Structure 1
Amino acid sequence: MIRIVIAEDQGMLRGALASLLELESDLEVVAQARNGEEALAFIEEYKPDVSLLDIEMPLKSGLDVAEHIRERGLPTRVMILTTFQRPGYFERAVKAGVLGYLLKDEPSDRLAEAIRRVAAGYREVSPELAFGIMRDENPLTEREREILRLAGSGLAAGQIAETLFLSHGTVRNYISEILSKLEVKSRIEAVRLAEEKGWI
């Protein structure tokens, strides 16, 4: 029997997922969480074989929960369910050791089969997500992402320079390079685009 914790903040969808999975003779939903904090508590308590996490939830996102699971070495395999085809999210998921990354509109039999494969240690990714990721890879370096995150939090170039112990000119050069790579005209546009793509 494959034991599952479901974490999804929309009650109707959470209940529907649980009902569908319970129809499978080898799957058992042991707990249903409404947010990331609850999910983590249930995962620690029930030690499920598979944790099925929504990517965007209150208190902690599915990716935050996946990162906590990895840091704490909890014995569960993680699957992310999403409506978002954002490459940055997928990069974070891979780094956090997530094995399954599926769109929410997958057929229920496909989801059940993916859970079985993930429980056995295989990776499962929706084909649409895989193609979107290959087509739309993050062009920014880690340093550029860091600068853009700080810019997005409202810091001016001089404040970013102080925070990162860089010269004002170096930060200006980085920002100019970011605008060029993202083909935008302002820092505000750059932040908005990078956030939409999940790159920062």
Structure 2
Amino acid sequence: MIRIVIAEDQHMLRGAFASLLQLEDDIEIVAQVSDGHEALSMIEACKPDLCLLDIEMPGLTGLEVAAAIRRGGLTCKIMIVTTFARPGYLQQAMSAAVDAYLLKDEPIEFLVEAIRKVMQGKRVVSPYLADSLFAHEDNPLTEREQEVLRMAAEGDSTRVIAGKLYLTTGTVRNYLSSAIQKLEVETRHHAISKARDRGWI
């Protein structure tokens, strides 16, 4: 029996995954959770064979949960199931040594087959995303530029960012300006969007 924890913040989708997967004779859903912290707690408590993680969840993202599982030496197989066909996310998932990365619009049969392949020690990536593995694009942003962009993305003003990082507002503006130039866009909003799309922040 393949014991699975499902972590998905959309209630209807989480329920649909559970209902469809439990129709399989060799699959048992041991827990369903809606955020990353719950996911990690249940994985540690239930010791499932496999966890199905959404990327964008409250608390911890699916990628952060995956990294914590690997750091903790847990043997749980990791499958990311997401709506996001972003090369940056896929690269981060591969760096976290996940076992599968699937798009949510795949047929349920593909998901079931992927689960069984992963349990056999294989790695599975949605066919649509496979080409992205070979289109790796290096992150041009420095750690500080990423940090400043992340804070701007959360709605912090230049003054607030400066206060939190113990920098002058001019220095923060310089970091934002540098990020905008490197990403070849015109505004901080475009920079945030592009950096997120690439999985750089």
TM-score, reference length from structure 2: 0.80
Distance 1:104 1:187 in 2: 30
Q: How does 1:1-200 map to 2 (within 5 A)?
A: 1-132=1-132, 134-135=134-135, 137-143=137-143, 145-146=146-147, 148-149=149-150, 154-155=157-158, 172=174, 178-200=179-201
Distance 1:155 1:72 in 2: 37
The answer as to whether partners of 2:141 and 2:182 remain within 8 angstroms in 1 is: no
Letter in 2 for 1:195: R
Structure 1 residue 134 displacement after superposition: 4.2
Quote the RMSD (CA, aligned, Å): 3.0
Report SS of the residue matched to 1:6.
strand
The answer as to whether partners of 2:141 and 2:179 remain within 8 angstroms in 1 is: no
Letter in 2 for 1:92: Q
Which shows bigger deviation, 86-95 or 53-62? 86-95
Between the aligned residues of both structures, percent identity stands at: 53
TM-score, reference length from structure 1: 0.81
The answer as to whether partners of 1:117 and 1:124 remain within 8 angstroms in 2 is: yes
Which shows bigger deviation, 115-124 or 186-195? 186-195
Distance 1:192 1:6 in 2: 28
Distance 2:179 2:48 in 1: 42
Structure 1 residue 141 displacement after superposition: 4.8
Letter in 2 for 1:193: K
The answer as to whether partners of 2:88 and 2:197 remain within 8 angstroms in 1 is: no
Distance 1:67 1:46 in 2: 18
The answer for unaligned runs of 5 or more in structure 1 is: none
Distance 2:15 2:122 in 1: 26
Structure 1 residue 133 displacement after superposition: 5.3
Distance verdict in 2 for CA 1:14–1:88, change over 3 Å: same
The answer as to whether partners of 1:6 and 1:18 remain within 8 angstroms in 2 is: yes
Structure 1 residue 44 displacement after superposition: 0.9
Structure 1 residue 103 displacement after superposition: 0.3
Which shows bigger deviation, 89-98 or 143-152? 143-152
Structure 1 residue 178 displacement after superposition: 4.0
Which shows bigger deviation, 121-130 or 141-150? 141-150
Residue-pair matches, total: 195
Structure 1 residue 155 displacement after superposition: 4.6
CA-to-aligned-CA distance 1:145-175 (integer Å, 9 cap, x gap):
456446655457xx59x869xxx6xx95x76
Letter in 2 for 1:197: R
Distance 2:137 2:36 in 1: 27
